[in-house]
């Protein structure tokens, strides 16, 4: 199998699997229980929180453990709006946000809030953040194109505009590939997720700057100061902590080499184009097979054991699969004929060569949808 769908999820590392297995076998008690076994299980919660705080450059008390990135994004957005609603009515997001942000803010439009999507390539943030803005939410790296969004500028733009806005950054696709330091970013909240960095599914985190007030989405327990109630997934926390500790041993230059090798090979084919939209992260590549529907190419490559995607896994069954590309100025033909490839540290140049060997047969094996 050649797996180029790492933006959807990564393979859990051996260290992660070992940590989860050990926790399930030896520390399986409820981490909220007061007895000795509960305290042992809680040690996995504490280790995960500490590993996150070291990775993000914040205090351990500023980390909320959540069931996933979507939950974290919803919690950040809804909290910001509810806590700031008396100070303004404008919500500013990028035009290429993950549905867990873009769909979440849509719910506030019917309540009278103004939602302004900004093209990250056109300087729209400076234009639309004003003194009525109560929330700015922006992803660090776009999950479909690899575009690095101008998150490092947003805190300064908010301050210059005199906005009361809280700044939330979705760093799910950035963690482990780019530096993620909350002090440098100047954000109030930031989302990360374990299964994008070779950790387990079902565990993520939301950094909340000390002093920022938030309210729960759900009720029923005292976990995470009653902000994320429910039984702790302590084995997943153990796996998340293991994956975080392994990040320092990973060779980020390897991903750069993969990107360079891929783009070099792509130039050999007149029907393949690498789509670039400004500054990009090297682990995500969006490509167009001119005239050939992306979905058809995806299933063709699958016959060779090569797995790619047409975009965000959260929108893979949607009839509209081109929202991000079109928001960045691509035409419908480009969007329809595109695939996303995303690399991890165990991918190789040889796998890329096998990908292009399979691609060489596309003109003979597939029918062009666009002439």
Q: What is the pLDDT of residues 68-119, one digit of tens each?
A: 999 999 999 998 999 999 999 999 999 999 999 999 999 999 899 999 999 9
Q: Say what percent of the chain tops pLDDT 70.
A: 97
Is the pLDDT score of 360 beyond 50? yes
Taking residue 296's Cβ as centre, other Cβ atoms within 10 Å add up to 17
Counting runs of H as helices and runs of E as strands, what totals does the chain give? 14, 12
- Both tokens assigned to 309: 């995607």
> pLDDT at residue 120 above 90?
yes
| Residue-wise pLDDT tens digits, 305-326 | 999 999 665 555 455 456 899 9
Q: Is 305 exposed, middle or buried (0-12, 13-18, 19+ CB in 10 A)?
A: exposed
Region for residue 291 given its phi and psi (left: phi exceeds 0; alpha: psi -120 to 50; beta: otherwise): left
What residue ranges in 265-343 does DSSP mark as E strands?
Answer: 272-275, 284-289, 306-307, 338-342
* Contacting residues for 277 by C-beta, under 8 A, at least 6 apart: 121, 145, 147, 328, 329
The DSSP-derived string for 64-91 is EEES-HHHHHHHHHHHHHHHHGGG--EE
**Candidate list 16, 104, 187, 314, residue with the active-site label:** 314
pLDDT digits (tens, 9 = 90+) for 8-18: 999 999 999 99
Kindly state the DSSP code that residue 169 receives in the 8-state scheme: E
Domains of the chain as residue ranges with CATH: 2-10+250-365 (3.90.1150.10), 14-248 (3.40.640.10)
pTM above 0.75, yes or no: yes
Question: Cβ of 363: how many Cβ atoms within 10 Å?
Answer: 15
Q: Give residue 317's pLDDT.
A: 47
Question: How large a percentage of the chain has pLDDT more than 90?
Answer: 91
pLDDT digits (tens, 9 = 90+) for 8-65: 999 999 999 999 999 999 999 999 999 999 999 999 999 999 999 999 999 999 999 9
Q: Which is it for the CA torsion 339, 145, 204, 15, positive or negative? A: positive
How many residues comprise the chain? 371
Six-digit token string for 273: 């184009």
pLDDT surpasses 90 at 254: yes
Cα separation of 53 and 47, whole Å? 10
Query: Is 314 an active-site residue?
Result: yes
**Average pLDDT, rounded, for the chain:** 95
CB of 297 closer than 8 Å to CB of 356: no
Both tokens assigned to 231: 């039984």
pLDDT digits (tens, 9 = 90+) for 154-191: 999 999 999 999 999 999 999 999 999 999 999 999 99
d(C-alpha 303, C-alpha 308), whole Å: 12
Q: What pLDDT shows up at residue 313?
A: 57
User: d(Cα 55, Cα 325) in Å, to the nearest integer?
Assistant: 31
H or E element that contains 278: none
Inter-helix orientation angle 294-302/349-359, to 10° = 110
């Amino acid at each position: 199998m050649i797996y180029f769908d790492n933006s959807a999820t990564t393979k859990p590392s051996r260290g992660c699997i070992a940590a989860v297995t050990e926790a399930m076998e030896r520390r399986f008690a409820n981490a909220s229980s007061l007895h000795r076994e509960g305290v042992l299980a809680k040690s996995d919660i504490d280790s995960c929180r500490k590993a996150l705080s070291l990775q993000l450059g914040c205090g351990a008390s500023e980390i909320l453990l959540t069931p996933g990135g979507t939950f974290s994004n919803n919690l950040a957005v809804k909290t910001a709006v509810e806590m700031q609603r008396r100070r303004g009515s404008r919500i500013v997001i990028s035009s290429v946000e993950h549905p867990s942000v873009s769909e979440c803010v849509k719910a506030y439009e019917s309540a009278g809030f103004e939602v302004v999507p900004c093209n990250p390539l056109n300087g729209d943030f400076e234009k639309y953040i004003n003194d009525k803005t109560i929330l700015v939410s922006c992803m660090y790296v776009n999950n479909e194109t690899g575009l690095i969004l101008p998150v490092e500028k947003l805190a300064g733009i908010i301050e210059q505009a005199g906005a009361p806005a809280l700044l939330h950054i979705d760093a799910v696709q950035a963690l482990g590939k780019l530096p993620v330091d909350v002090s440098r970013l100047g954000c109030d909240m930031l989302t990360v997720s374990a299964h994008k960095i070779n950790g387990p599914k079902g565990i993520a985190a939301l950094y909340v700057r000390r002093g920022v007030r938030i309210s729960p989405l759900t009720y029923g327990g005292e976990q995470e100061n009653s902000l994320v109630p429910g039984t702790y997934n302590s084995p997943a926390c153990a796996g998340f902590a293991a994956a975080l500790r392994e990040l320092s041993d990973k060779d980020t230059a390897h991903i750069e080499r993969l990107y360079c090798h891929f783009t070099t090979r792509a130039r050999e084919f007149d029907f393949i184009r690498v789509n670039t939209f400004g500054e990009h992260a090297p682990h995500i590549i969006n490509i167009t097979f001119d005239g050939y529907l992306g979905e058809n190419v995806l299933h063709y490559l699958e016959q060779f054991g090569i797995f790619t995607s047409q975009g965000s896994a959260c929108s893979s069954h949607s009839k509209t699969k081109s929202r991000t590309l079109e928001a960045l100025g691509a035409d419908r033909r480009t969007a329809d004929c595109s695939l996303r490839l995303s690399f991890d540290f165990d991918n190789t140049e040889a796998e890329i060569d096998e990908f292009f060997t399979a691609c060489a047969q596309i003109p003979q094996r597939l029918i062009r949808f666009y002439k």
